[in-house]
Structures are given as structure tokens and as C-alpha cells.
Amino acid sequence: MARIAVIGAGMGAMAAAARLAVAGHRVAVYERGATYGGAVRRFERAGFGFDTGPGLLHLPAVYRDLFVKTGREPLESVVELSQVDPAARHVFPDGTAVLLPNASRAGVLAALDGALGDGAGERWSAFLGRAREAWDRTRRPLLEEPLWPDWQVLGRDPYPALPRRGLFGRRKPVTDASLAEVAGHELKDPRLTALLESYALAYGYDPRTAPASAAVLPYMEQTFGSWYPRGGIRALADALYERCLARKVEFSFGAEVTRIVSADGRAAGVELRDGGRVEADTVVAGVAPDQLAALLEGTEPWGGEPCSGEPWGGDDVRPDADARRRTPGRFTVALALRGPRPADAAHRTVVHAADRAAELATLFGAGAGAGEGAGGLCDRPTVTVLRPDDPESRPDDGHEAVTLSAAVAPYGELALPTAGATSPEPAAQETAAQAAAADRLMAAAEAAIPGLRERVLWRAVLPPDAGGSVPGPALAGAGGRFLRPGNRTRIPGLYAVGGWTHPGGGLAHAGMSGALVAGLIVNGDGWRGSE
């Protein structure tokens, strides 16, 4: 039985901890904050409850597998999980609205034809067919297997090449197209373009620079469905935490790890802010990779030779120290409403930005991929409106809890003044900039909830943490720029887990990150993934 120290109690870290404990190891988790779940947070006040991280679960098979492998109780026995149908309502700037059914390609085709005109559904369906090719080519290496040593092959985009006219009018296949180029070439309609690009924005990706393989994001959602647990996504974190406790995982909260220490050239434990030392045979770090090297600096070994070098070598996927600063977070407004939730209300409505170019320039900079000038919120941003039909989200049926959110850079005047918060706390007092941003979200949300302002009992503004953006899933293509550092580091006994490492962010990918780390530790570094 090995002693394993886990740094952080995010979803990926807890997924690894539960699997390792079932394998017979003694697992202890050290979390600097007061609670678990990482970005899976919940804000509650006066009988109202709001998810302030992810609002829906996609690829539930990841967590079904986790709960089956870590105990006799399946996921549905501890979480009341239901499909969300319709999956989403989209409202476009011209006033057109479309309801997209859950996990029904034929239903989506019919809905788009009915709302956007004949041919729209067929174009979207053909696009999803090509997205499936990209999914089939990369599902295993990007989701189910440790990052390949020859990861460079994943730098080639798996999305089918676009034809482009070259010299003398000859068609030349383009294999490095961006998601925006795919939308322009294949979808034609600006509303379909907005629909496609909203999936990239939801994960903080600029569609002008995201590779065409980002097409797997809508494919994944529309194929495997959208799911919601009673009590919100936080209920999933609660269930995973309870599963860890049942498997004898030990948790220490308010326990900040300041150093990873070594002995005989391998990771051998951690030091805590309070001066405590914890010996371990293996360390699993659920921190951003660019922070991991700092935890290894200036540490005298407990014995033998110190760890040498950085966690990842020059031939590995390297962490991008600026990625978290460039990646948008979410600006969230929790609304307590008087009056019941209408029976026909959609669980999720996406109200699209009035000016696509202005939104992208505000978030990412004027030029494709440029970060200069980014950092605010445009006048009419893309706003996601969540209206769960969940009795646990409201004090009674005469009220409704609604969550509004929009992508915003995780720094600057809209962000919390300090980074690293681990519980969802509203701004003590709205700044002028935060109040103006909240008003913009509410104005946009009127397209989803007419008469919204007259129903508001109170609102709470939950800005992003400064520097605390949430990562998106790893993507193939773009020369490997959208890949994440591998879970296996070059320091023996040290592994990385969570959304900033392979296979990237999002609930499903975080769960798989934990599965991959556990597989490597239990089966050895030569393990290639489950068959």
C-alpha cells in the first residue's frame, strides 16, 4: 500500500483519489481552500441556489464509469440525473429563435430548417458528420489514453480538409483551417456561425484561432446529450466527495501546499504553509502546470539526491505560463425572481451577441489571436441563461432561480481583486463596472425572460477570480498549441491532474484526467489506457 499525497480537491484530483484508494493505496488530499470541487461551485442565499461553475454535464459515461469502478453504487443511485430536453434555446440578433432537442440529430435538423429556413438543418447535419470524423480520430488519444510520447502527430488537425482556391483557380485542400473558417465555408448563415462559435466561447476559445477540430465540442454535446443533477452540478461534486470518504480518502482543508519535496531523486512528500511535512511515495498535483515548477523550487531533499530538472522536458508539451491570463473566465449574475417558473421555459437559453466582431475583439483583441486590448465586456455579449426546473434551487414554487453568465477576461476591472478563491462569494459591493456589466447581462436576458427586471427580488454578482479562468478541453491541430501537458512528469513519483493538464478542462475531461493518473500509478508509466 503506497502513501499518496494529492494537492487540491478539484474534480480531477478527487476522481484520481477515489480510484487510487480503491486500488488499495492510502490517499490524503490537501486543499488550500475551505471546500472541494474546484470550479464546481454553488451559491446559496435565502432558499435560492445557483450553479456558479458548469451548469450541465456532458458525457455522463465518464462519471458512471468512475462510480462503478469505485464502489457498488452506480452514479444514479447517489445523484438524481435527468436529461435536459430541449437541450438549449438559441436567440439570434435578428430575433430568430430555435429550440434544439437533446441528443437527436434528426430533431436538430428539423428544428433548424423550421427556424432558419430550408437547408440550414442539412448544412448543420453535414458539418456534424465531419465533426464525427474528427471525434473518431482523436477520441482515444485525447480522452482515454495518456498523452503520447510522439504527441506531435496530434498537431495535425483531424477535421476533413477544406477546399480553397489557389493560383489559377485550382482547388487546394486546407488542413489548418480555424473554426471560424469552417463556419464561413460550410455553414454560410451567420446564425449557424453564431451557433457553432458559441460552443467555442463557452470554453474560452477564440473561434478565429481555435482549430477546426473544435467541431468536436458541439458534436459531443449533441450526440451524448446534456444532463442535469437535482441540486445542481454541485451535487455531483458532493457525491464524488462522499465516495472518496467512503473509500477512506483523508481530506485536509485550509492546508496549502508550499513545496513538493524529494528524496533520492523522486517526489517524496509535501510541505504545508503551517510548516507541516507529509511523507508520500507518490505526489499527485492538481494545480496549474505553470505553478508546478514553483512548488519544486528551493527545496532541500529529505535524503539522497534532489529532484533535477523541470516537470516537463523540451520534447514534451510545455505549460503556457500566460494561458490562464489569456483564457476568458465567466462573469455570473445570480437572480432571485418572484413568480413561478413557466412550465415551457427552456433550461438553457443562449442569447447571442448583437455584434460578433465586437465581442471577439473585446474578449481576445482586434486581430485573430491577438490579446492586445482584450479584457472587458461588449455592449451586447453572448449571454447564457440557466433556468433549471429544480425544487432545490428555489424556496418554493412561487419563485425562480436564474443564473446569467458571459465570457469575460479573468483580469481587469470586472474580476475579483485576488486570485484563487475556492468558494463562490458575491462581490461585497458591486463596483460601478460590475454593476454596468450585470445590467448588460440582464438586458440581453430579457430576450429569454420577458419582463425580467420586474420580477427581480435581488441579484448577486459573482465576478471571475483574477487569473482564475477555467480551461477548455484539449484539441488536436494547430501544431499542438491546444494540447495540455501530460499527466506523467519527468520527475519520478510526480503526476499532474486537472483541467490544465491532459486531456484538458470540462467536467468529463477532468474526470478522465483522474482516471488516467490513477491508471499510470496503478499500472506503471508504460500503461497506455484501458481497452
Q: Of 205, 295, 204, 234, nearest to 496 (Cα)?
A: 295
Residue 368 scores a pLDDT above 60: no
Q: What is the rounded distance in angstroms from the CA atom of residue 269 to the CA atom of residue 279?
A: 4
pLDDT tens for each residue of 462-518: 988 644 567 899 999 999 999 999 999 999 999 999 999 999 999 999 999 999 999
Residue 195 scores a pLDDT above 60: yes
166 or 348: which leads in pLDDT:
348
Give me the mean pLDDT over the 100-114 stretch: 95
Residues 399/401/402/405 CA torsion (nearest 10 deg): 160
- Mean pLDDT (the chain, rounded): 89
69: which 3 cell numbers? 469502478
What does the pLDDT read at residue 319? 85
Give me the mean pLDDT over the 222-251 stretch: 97
Residue 40 backbone zone (phi > 0: left; psi -120 to 50: alpha; other: beta): beta
Question: What SS3 class is residue 290?
Answer: helix
What does the pLDDT read at residue 166? 47
Q: What does pTM read for this prediction?
A: 0.93
Q: What is the rounded distance in angstroms from the CA atom of residue 124 to the CA atom of residue 110?
A: 11
pLDDT band at 174, cuts 50/70/90?
low
Say which amino acid occupies 57: L
Give me the mean pLDDT over the 22-39 stretch: 96
Gyration radius of the chain over CA positions: 23
The answer for residues whose C-beta is within 8 angstroms of residue 454's C-beta and 6 or more apart is none
pLDDT tens for each residue of 302-357: 665 656 668 998 899 988 777 766 778 889 999 999 999 999 999 999 999 999 99
300, burial (CB in 10 Å: exposed 0-12, middle 13-18, buried 19+)? exposed
Q: Which residues make beta-bridge pairs with 272?
A: 257
DSSP string, 481-527: TT----SB-SSTTEEE-STTSTTBSSHHHHHHHHHHHHHHHHH-TT-
CATH architecture of 3-48+57-82+233-319+485-523: 3-Layer(bba) Sandwich (3.50)
CATH 3.30.519 region(s) of the chain? 325-462
161 or 340: which leads in pLDDT:
340
What does the pLDDT read at residue 423? 47
Answer whether 90's CB lies under 8 Å from 352's CB: yes
Residues 103/108/109/113 CA torsion (nearest 10 deg): 180
What does the pLDDT read at residue 87? 95
Q: By mean pLDDT, which of 63-77, 302-316, 365-379 is the weakest?
A: 365-379
Q: What is the rounded distance in angstroms from the CA atom of residue 432 to the CA atom of residue 396?
A: 33
CATH fold of 325-462? Guanine Nucleotide Dissociation Inhibitor; domain 2 (3.30.519)
336 or 299: which leads in pLDDT:
336
